Amino acid sequence: MPSSVSSNTLDPNTPVIVGVGQASERLTDDDYRGLCEADLASRAVETALADTGVTVPSVAAELDTIVGVRTFEESTPMSSSPLGRPDNMPRAVAKRIGIDPRSAVLGVTGGQTPQSLLTEFAGTIAAGRSSAVLLFGAEVMSTVRHLMATTVDDARPDFTEQVGGQLDDRGFDIAGLTTHQEAKHGLLSPVAQYAVLENARRHRIGLPRDRYSAAMGELFAPMSQVAAENPHAAAPTARSARELVTVSETNRVVADPFTRFIVARDQVNQAAAVVVMSVQTAHQLGIDPSRWVFLHGHADTRERPLMQRPDLSTGPAAPAAVRHALAVADIDLDDVRHLDIYSCFPIAVFNVIDPLGIAPDDPRGLTLTGGLPFFGGPGNNYSMHAIAEAVDRCRGERDSFALVVANGGILSKTSVGVYSTRPVEWSPDDSSGVQERLDSASPVRTSDYADGPATLEAFTVLPGRDGARKGIVVGRLGSGRRFVATVNTDDEPMFDLLATDDPIGTDIYVRSSANANRVFTDRAAMLRRHPPTAPAFRSSYEHVEVRRDGHLLEVTINRPDARNALHPAANAELDEIFDAYFADPELWVAILTGAGDKAFSAGNDLAQTSGAGLAVPQNGFAGLTARRSMPKPVIAAVNGFALGGGCEIALACHIVVADERATFGLPEVKVGLAALAGGLVRLPAAVGGALARDMILTGRRLDAAAALAAGLVSRVAPAGEVMGLARTVAGEILAASPTSVRESLRAMETAAAIPDEIEAIEATSAAMDSLLVSKDTIEGITAFVTKRPPRWTGR
């Protein structure tokens, strides 16, 4: 136990919590008013100010900073506020209590933020940069959903409010919480992501389904009893362990293995607030030291992105944060009397108590509020309610310690606080040493396009209301790379496998496509659904024109009204066409161009890919930008704009010729994107780093003459004659040995991957081995000696 310190001898800047408050309303309450966020928040704030024991105006007048927890309505770029909201929520709340603080702050997204913000601003006070801070958060999701469902547009209230003023908006800070592969396969919602982790944990500890289900119920049943006694709980009903996990009409399965009763309840109207200030300010205001609660220990840690974690069944950052916070507080876990462990899903609790040796039925209990499924999960703000309860418990039991564990994302971010009325100096610790140890673990490499034998690593099945099921699988290839995949909706054998007691560790088979990776019970099952077909040309295409002329293939993107921009269907056709070209021994050279004279290609057709923007073939835009090998030459005949993905397609080709009116550019940064289809790699190699950075970071465009001077194109044609020039270049290639051309391309590809120049040159000599046994080599030498044109066979 830490030694006692008198409140009179503390550093005057020592931070101390002096007031907490909560507010709530349920749709079934007799006095339900349907308050907006700012109004409900101000109720909690007024309660917190009054909780100091001195007059509300005197405390409010000392507040120099107001800090808001970000609500769910503004937690991602895709979220919205259907009933409107203030443009500056912290100052909207400040206005309601009659203050105009020096600084207003809006925190980042995540359930860790109530604790991490309190830790941050306690440190700000300790450093003398602030004297009194108000933190608050509020959610009215229940009211918004109720009004959207039960009222017509003109009868709905408008919560919009123009407040203005200074605001330090921290942004979302959600990078890494979801990857494009998780989004592509529907592994987006927390319930699906946590279900995958939960099933991974069940496999690790070796419990059958029924026993694990019972364990989840046994973990959460005591929390429901706490919620039943909490006046602010959204669902104040005590339930038995069996009732929580028994499937019924009101307790449906939301994602294997979760029933509705054991996941966070987000339909709530709840708010909480905390007032923290310096000891000096608290003394000046005459706040009774018996109401002071100190932050003895704190820690903040982060996990790697979900798909990179070494073990999906556990998140070591959370228990590491708890251990560190206790070390900062200089106490042991046994010294803690009150616990509140973030409980959005069972694994969030198990992930903390397992490694710390806390029993699920610990007599201290694992929640102070009633837990997120029962008390409620008010967006990012749950743990501020936990902090408020912790403060009350510490005041009621002098010198006791309370531990609050706050979780954000998918076990992604953990913030921990240790509280007590026992006076203590501030401990300035940033958890950096702990984070360094966590980051030292090697991340798992992932595969966007997975093919071949694999092992099932984790999974979930989400039932649809129409009876359809969505199966999501995380697996490992033989290389160790991790992938996400889905199950065909009618693949009964695969769903039967996922319904077994423990499918994890089973051998499966995965096949990639532009839309998704799909898993099957084995290769034979995959082949039954997707019989192999040899690459071949169709008689016609919808978005592309194809013309054969001897050994030459001409491919024209035929979407002139869209500036030949590519959508999923056009990409799929081009991918198929180039598969056929590279497989056809009678085709030796290909030309790619765009229909009309306005554009080669304007890249990705954003207007038609908003719902399927991730459906790009494994070989990339046009079937070229990510193709691992292009064994035969492709000439880009650029006739107009080659922008974004269009420029990247041209860069992927072996030779680029341009109309004198052509324009090249990578303007992705101007629309919030990036040139990720090869432009960031190939453009610097083509034109040099300085010019490439200029083009990539500003969206600068080059005309044909500038592109020629920079080395982006090799030849420029007069206006309207680029196809003639491309055919001339193709003819020159066709006059050469096709075998020599292919071997030269292969040797250049090999050498490009070898940094040492001499080693690269030595590697290219392997081409001679192929040329020595080639009929074309013999024909070429014979024709040269006999002074006749060679007759190439391509062999």
Task: Give the tens place of pLDDT for each residue, 515-548.
Answer: 899 999 999 999 999 998 899 999 999 999 999 9
pLDDT of residue 610: 52
Is 592 domain-assigned? Answer: yes
Give the pLDDT confidence of 547-572 residue by residue, as tens digits.
999 999 999 999 999 999 999 999 99
Q: What does the DSSP 8-state code read for residue 349?
A: H
Catalytic residues: 648, 668
Residue 130 has pLDDT above 80, yes or no: yes
The rounded distance, in Å, linking the Cα atoms of 485 and 503 is 15
Give the pLDDT confidence of 369-405 residue by residue, as tens digits.
999 999 999 999 999 999 999 999 999 999 999 999 9
Q: Are residues 52 and 85 in the same domain?
A: yes
Q: For 83-97, 553-567, 755-769, which range has the lowest pLDDT when averaged over its residues? A: 755-769
Q: Are residues 357 and 478 in the same domain?
A: no
Domain boundary among 529, 559, 586: 529
pLDDT of residue 612: 43
The rounded distance, in Å, linking the Cα atoms of 21 and 37 is 15
When pLDDT is cut at 50, 70 and 90, the band that residue 7 belongs to is low
Mean pLDDT, to the nearest integer, of 272-284? Answer: 98
- What's the number of domains the chain is made of? 4
pLDDT of residue 314: 97
Mean pLDDT, to the nearest integer, of 285-295? Answer: 97
Q: Are residues 513 and 575 in the same domain?
A: no
Mean model confidence pLDDT for the chain: 94
CATH code of the domain covering residue 709: 3.90.226.10
Is 70 domain-assigned? Answer: yes
Which residue, among 253, 251, 222, has the nearest Cα to 238 in the 3D structure? Answer: 222
Mean pLDDT, to the nearest integer, of 706-730? Answer: 97
Strand order across the beta sheet in which 168-169 lies: 15-24, 269-278, 132-140, 65-68, 103-106, 168-169
CATH code of the domain covering residue 485: 2.40.50.840
CB atoms inside a 10 Å sphere around CB 249: 5
Does 257 sit behind a cis peptide bond, omega within 30 degrees of 0 on the bond before it? Answer: yes
CB atoms inside a 10 Å sphere around CB 401: 27
Please give the angle made by the CA atoms of 71, 75 and 78, to the nearest 5 degrees: 130
Q: Are residues 373 and 404 in the same domain?
A: yes
Q: Are residues 114 and 33 in the same domain?
A: yes
Domain boundary among 494, 529, 564: 529
Q: Are residues 519 and 557 in the same domain?
A: no
Is 197 domain-assigned? Answer: no
Q: Are residues 745 and 631 in the same domain?
A: no
Q: What does the DSSP 8-state code read for residue 305?
A: P
Mean pLDDT, to the nearest integer, of 351-365? Answer: 98
Is 209 domain-assigned? Answer: no
Q: Are residues 467 and 567 in the same domain?
A: no
Domain boundary among 468, 500, 529: 529
Residue 23 has pLDDT above 50, yes or no: yes
Q: Are residues 599 and 708 in the same domain?
A: yes
Q: Are residues 321 and 361 in the same domain?
A: yes
Give the pLDDT confidence of 99-124 residue by residue, as tens digits.
999 999 999 999 999 999 999 999 99
The rounded distance, in Å, linking the Cα atoms of 795 and 783 is 16
Q: Are residues 265 and 399 in the same domain?
A: yes
Structure tokens at 284: 């000046």
The rounded distance, in Å, linking the Cα atoms of 401 and 327 is 13
Is 358 domain-assigned? Answer: yes
State pTM to two decimals.
0.90
Q: Are residues 466 and 367 in the same domain?
A: no
Is 218 domain-assigned? Answer: no
Q: Which amino acid is at 39?
A: D
The rounded distance, in Å, linking the Cα atoms of 490 and 287 is 67
pLDDT of residue 79: 87
Mean pLDDT, to the nearest integer, of 181-205? Answer: 95
pLDDT of residue 100: 96
CB atoms inside a 10 Å sphere around CB 608: 17
Share of the chain above pLDDT 90, in %: 84
Structure tokens at 127: 């450093």
Residue 43, domain extent: 15-181+260-439
Residue 415, beta-bridge partner list: 300, 406
The rounded distance, in Å, linking the Cα atoms of 290 and 303 is 38
Is 469 domain-assigned? Answer: yes
CATH code of the domain covering residue 360: 3.40.47.10
Residue 423 and residue 6 in contact, taking contact as beta carbons nearer than 8 Å: yes
Is 231 domain-assigned? Answer: no
